[in-house]
Amino acid sequence: MRNKFLILLSCLLISGHSYAGPKIENWKTANGANVFYVNAPGLPIVDLRIVFDAGSARDGDKAGLSGLTNSLLDEGTGTLNADQVAEQFESLGAQFGAASLRDMAMVSIRSLSDNIILDKALDLFSKVVANPTLPEKSFQRNRKAMLVGLQVASKRPNAIVKKAFYKKVFNAHPYAIDGSGTEESLNNMTRQDALNFHKRYYVANNATIAIVGEVSRARAEMLAEKVSSGLAKGEKAPELTKVSALSTGVVNRIEHKSQQTHILVGQPGMHRGDPDYMTLYVGNHVFGGSGLVSRLSDSIREQRGLAYSVYSYFSPMRENGPFMMGMQTKNSQADDALAILNKELKEYVEKGPSEDELKRSKQNITGGFALRVDSNKKITEYIAMIGFYGLPLDYLDTFNARVEAVTVEKIKDAFKRRIHPDKLVTVTVGGK
């Protein structure tokens, strides 16, 4: 009876959906910043985000510098101090944001599209991004706050496991650097380091600007000029070195006083624009990327009740980011759970998904395409990513067709070439 119901529903789906994504326009500002724009009328909002190739992969021997610099942007510009910057943004109702990841350092603003408000908000935004004072007092305060952050993280099993995992997967590659820094690196950092970092990386040739909202193309061009004209032309960040594949498996067991053991297992995965991207993405969707209906969730959570959260994902970056499987379970079950995780991966690499599993994943991904771009916020994130990584402008338009082109054979082939169950990094953090 229940199968009948299911079949009935799946019949409805075969047609699938094909949608065009939002229309993305692209140009360069006078001083070389790359602009990506989507006109999104409907709400009187403008979102603008600048992404610099200035994430923690650029920290060098000063782990945490990217994040610290990024956190200081709104601490003052020109004659304005941090209080005044905050008051000006907030009395306009504008929301300023800044964040630093491994590849990207981002600065964003959301404002009402009203001309007067938007102009004022972006005037200040431009100054904050291009000419921050990075005052000594703020530098020291945020540096110390990061040290406190390290102390807090030192007791969090999820933070410990992630740091150790990246270290073992990426070794000498800059992706091994943890953006939260180390006690040593933070103790040796000076304001001059932040000034230098800003001067080198927060430059037009190293910038991608995303603009989404109720704003015409002509006005978007003006806005892009406004927020970039203060930036030095500068140079693009140099290319990162390639990530080396692992030559052997590594097991790192870290003792920690906690009830659960946190487990991460993985290896270097793939990069943005990777020829295997879609095949690995769809393949992983079946395996551990589709939440409660994935194979891993079925095996670990549904069948055995071993974990609340179990997943796998590829984190594609400029260079090969990690592939990882993760879960947490009470200490006494950790070894068993780990064995199952490894068994599932091995089996999947050998046999791939079934036709039915692949069909379901495709239906989920293509049928849910509209949900990926159903808000200005999501569109902003997408076009910033597309722009930053130099993906084709029709990336979203062709998305579903590329999903449909994936086959069981392609997944088996790609997983066999890219995932090596005998060369995995395994990190566990927990007690006995």
Partner 1 sequence: MRLVPILLLSVALAGSFATSLQAKHREGVSDVRQYMLDNGMKILVKEDHRAPVVVSQVWYKVGSSYEHNGITGISHVLEHMMFKGTKTLGPNEFSKIIAANGGRENAFTGKDYTAYFQRLHKDRLEVSMRLEADRMRNLSLREEDFVKEVNVVKEERRLRTEDKPTSLTYEQFIATAFQSSPYHHPIIGWMDDLDNMELDDLQQWYERWYSPSNATLVIIGDVKADHVYRMAKKHFGPIPGSKIKPLKPQRETKQRGERRIKVRAQAEVPYLLMGYKVPVLMTAKDATEVYALEVMAGILDGGSSARFAKELVRGTQIAVSVGAGYNMYDRIDNLFLFDGRPATGHSVEKLEKAVREQIMLLQTTLATQNELDRIKAQVVAAKVYELDSVFYQGMQIGTLETVGLNHKQLDEYVSRVRAVTPEQVQAVAKKYLIDERLTVAVLEPENKKQEEKQVSAVKGVEDAK
Strands 34-39 and 207-213: parallel
Residue 332: count other Cβ atoms within 10 Å of its Cβ: 11
Residue 118, φ and ψ in degrees, nearest 5: -60, -45
Residue 379, H or E segment: helix 376-388
Measured at the alpha carbon of residue 411, what is the angle toward residues 408 and 416, in degrees to the nearest 5? 130
> 78 or 308, CB closer to partner 1?
308
Smallest separation (angstroms) from partner 1 to the CB of 91: 5
CA distance 431 to 338: 15
Smallest separation (angstroms) from partner 1 to the CB of 207: 24
CA distance 329 to 308: 8
Residue 263, H or E segment: strand 260-268
The CB-side HSE value for 391 (13 A sphere, CA atoms) comes to: 23
Smallest separation (angstroms) from partner 1 to the CB of 62: 20
> 19 or 395, CB closer to partner 1?
19
CA distance 58 to 206: 12
Measured at the alpha carbon of residue 174, what is the angle toward residues 173 and 175, in degrees to the nearest 5? 90
> 30 or 43, CB closer to partner 1?
43
> 109 or 204, CB closer to partner 1?
109
Smallest separation (angstroms) from partner 1 to the CB of 257: 5
> 275 or 305, CB closer to partner 1?
305
Smallest separation (angstroms) from partner 1 to the CB of 332: 12
Tokens 């194979």 correspond to: 295
CA distance 190 to 181: 14
Smallest separation (angstroms) from partner 1 to the CB of 328: 5
Smallest separation (angstroms) from partner 1 to the CB of 301: 6
H runs (alpha helix) in 60-135: 65-72, 82-91, 115-130
> 15 or 248, CB closer to partner 1?
15
